[in-house]
Structure 1
Amino acid sequence: MAEENESEQAEQPKRNHKNLTAVIIAVIVIVLAGIGGGYAYCTHREANAYHEAVAQAEAADKALSKTVDEATATEYKAGQLKEPKLLGKLDGAVRKAEALKGVPEDHPGEWLAWQLASAKAANAADADEANAQAKALDAALKAVRDSKLAKELDTAKAQLRQGIDSAGKTLKDTEGKVADNAARDSLTKAINEANKTIGKKDVSDPKAYTDAKAKLDAAVKQVNDSKAAKEKADAEAAAKAQAEAEAQAQAAAQAQAAAAAAQSQRSYSKSSTRGYSSSKSYTAPKKSYNRGYSAPQWSYTAPKQSAPAPSNNGGSTDGGGCPLCRADGDGVLSTGNYPPIVH
């Protein structure tokens, strides 16, 4: 019995040592399992966060690229803007946005928590930067568009105001000069509507001004057309009246000429009944031309008078006879170079 008791006492420490070892191993296994499970959970969480950051960065980069395309799709000029300096700000925002390259593609280890955490941070920073650049670019683009709209509103409003002034002058200058006064009434109405549009404070679309200007221009055209129609009708009426006056004057002249011709015919008939005959003929005296010119022989018989006898030399008379004549030797009087005159 004593030997059995001693043997049992010797086996007791061995069993206790084995139990302690088993407990220690179990604790170590539990600890290691806990650590491994915690690490696995941590890496899983970091991997999810990384992939979410990558998706957000890609979306932000895509939105920024779209904003850049939109900003550069339309070419803006300084003359189109109310504030031309805004173009410089837009160009700067575009250049800065285009310089953002995004996060390079990398593939961190799925079980390397520190790599996952670093990649997640890089993608998150890229998303924040892309969103900030897109916001700045949107603001710069909106400022340019608003400035362009403001310039268009000012231009359209100024053109409408000029149209109103011109239409008012047309209305004044055409009073009593149109074929149909209804055209001037329509122009008056269009001017009133245009003035109401000018007076509005909430106009945000230049089309409101351009539409009013188009209506005003159409009304002005109607008045001008009516004026031209009246001028044409007046000119045609004047031409017709002038033609009729000329025709009447010509008819009167023809009638007067006919009357004068008839009067002349009556006078000619009366004179011809007084013994005048136009059928009488005239016979010129015959002349003989023989080696020169022979003057016609004229004779003159003077009345008989008692006169003293001529002197012996026959050169003169004593106070009687023809003073122009002188007696030749044969008793014929001569007149010098003229043919002899027979008394």
Structure 2
Amino acid sequence: MTKPSEEVETMDDATPEESKPKGIKPAKLTAIIIAVVVVALAGIGGGYAYWTHHEGNAYHEAVAQAENADKALSKAVDEATATTYKADQLKEPKLLDKLDDAIRKAKALKGIPEDRPGEWLAWRLASARKANATDADEANAQAKALDAALKAVRDSKLAKELDTAKDQLRQGIDGAGQTLRDTDGKVADNATRDSLTKAIDEANSTLSKKGVTDPKTYTDAKAKLDAAVRQVTDSKAAKEQADAEAAAQAQAQAQAAAQSQRSYSQSYNRYGGSGSGYSSNRGYSAPQQSYTAPQQSYSGGSSGGSSLADLIGAASSGNTNEKSTGNYAPIEH
């Protein structure tokens, strides 16, 4: 009879190797764990690498967009500040305040952040991407607001220029019409008045146009109208000058004729005219002297004096019994 131990040994020895229970050796388990860890680390590293690569590309794209937006904003600021606008140049002066405010806000933007993250720091790349994207959005929005404010100011300035040019043309038409009325029959060349009439008609046609956007449309019509007015006024001045010269010439001729008449009259008086000391028949006339008979008192029957009848009788008989010492001319019968 065999011993129990012997029976067991006999049985172990007789059992096939394939039917024995299998187990994992420690060395093999360690290898498996190491492989799992490597695979896990590889997966994590690959995911991080992909994330880093993605954020890096996005960051560089955001930087480019921010740079372009900042350049556009800087250009808009330069354009807005290149021209100085005044309130009296605008139809709506308050728009100038809005433009100044837009310029101030545009200049206050900080721009692109200067710090640049490392290429393998994914979280910093993501943060920088967001900062640049925000900067680009702000710059684009402010540039848009600045352009709108600048356009509003320019449009208001244009509207004021259009109104001014249109008013000046209207005033020019009124003045030209008055010139036309005041120069009727007073110009050297009436064709100038015909040209002015045509210019007035054309100016009125321009004034009634719709949708005029260029002040030059009105200023050109005004310049043409002014030129026609100058032609009329020049023609009027030429006629006035011609009339003045004709009047002066007529006056000079009249003065010359009067001078000639005076010279002829003086010559006639000197050589046979009715001047003093000469008669018209060139005869000589003795100077005329007056005689006054002496007054004598007469008393009838007195022997001391002569009577008037005696004197007359004596004169008739040629007697000269006078007591007067003056000469006298003989009395003609």
Secondary structure of 2:212's match?
coil
- 1:261-272, aligned counterparts within 5 Å? 261=270, 262-264=272-274, 267=279, 270-272=282-284
TM-score, normalised by the number of residues in structure 2: 0.75
Kindly state the Cα deviation for residue 34 of structure 1 after the two structures are TM-superposed: 2.5
RMSD value, Cα: 3.0
Structure 1 counterpart of 2:232: 223
- 1:1-343, aligned counterparts within 5 Å? 22-261=31-270, 262-264=272-274, 267=279, 270-272=282-284, 320-321=303-304
- Which stretches in structure 1 are left out of the alignment for 5+ residues? 278-317, 324-343
Cα deviation 1:65-84 (Å, max 9, x = unaligned): 11112111211111111011
Contact kept? 2:113, 2:131, Cα under 8 Å? no
For 2:274, give the aligned amino acid: S
Kindly state the Cα deviation for residue 269 of structure 1 after the two structures are TM-superposed: 6.2
Distance, in Å, in 1 between the alignment partners of 2:124 and 2:19 is 56
Kindly state the Cα deviation for residue 42 of structure 1 after the two structures are TM-superposed: 1.1
Distance, in Å, in 1 between the alignment partners of 2:15 and 2:250 is 166
Kindly state the Cα deviation for residue 98 of structure 1 after the two structures are TM-superposed: 1.0
Distance, in Å, in 2 between the alignment partners of 1:5 and 1:130 is 90
Distance, in Å, in 1 between the alignment partners of 2:96 and 2:13 is 107
Kindly state the Cα deviation for residue 39 of structure 1 after the two structures are TM-superposed: 1.2
For 2:279, give the aligned amino acid: S
For 1:130, give the aligned amino acid: A
For 1:263, give the aligned amino acid: G
Structure 2 counterpart of 1:282: none
Secondary structure of 1:127's match?
helix
Kindly state the Cα deviation for residue 14 of structure 1 after the two structures are TM-superposed: 7.3
Distance, in Å, in 1 between the alignment partners of 2:253 and 2:110 is 92
- The farther-off stretch of 120-129 and 62-71 is 62-71
Distance, in Å, in 2 between the alignment partners of 1:217 and 1:7 is 131
- Which stretches in structure 2 are left out of the alignment for 5+ residues? 1-9, 288-300, 307-333
Kindly state the Cα deviation for residue 229 of structure 1 after the two structures are TM-superposed: 0.7
Distance, in Å, in 1 between the alignment partners of 2:176 and 2:235 is 15
TM-score, normalised by the number of residues in structure 1: 0.73
Distance, in Å, in 1 between the alignment partners of 2:239 and 2:47 is 101
Cα deviation 1:133-165 (Å, max 9, x = unaligned): 111111111111111111111011101110110
Structure 1 counterpart of 2:6: none
Distance, in Å, in 1 between the alignment partners of 2:280 and 2:268 is 14
Give the aligned length: 280
For 1:321, give the aligned amino acid: G
Distance, in Å, in 1 between the alignment partners of 2:304 and 2:83 is 137
- The farther-off stretch of 250-259 and 205-214 is 250-259
Distance, in Å, in 2 between the alignment partners of 1:107 and 1:188 is 76
Distance, in Å, in 2 between the alignment partners of 1:4 and 1:201 is 121
For 2:263, give the aligned amino acid: Q
Distance, in Å, in 2 between the alignment partners of 1:248 and 1:218 is 45
Give the structure, 1 or 2, with the largest relative contact order (CA under 8 Å, sep 6 or more).
2
Kindly state the Cα deviation for residue 186 of structure 1 after the two structures are TM-superposed: 1.4
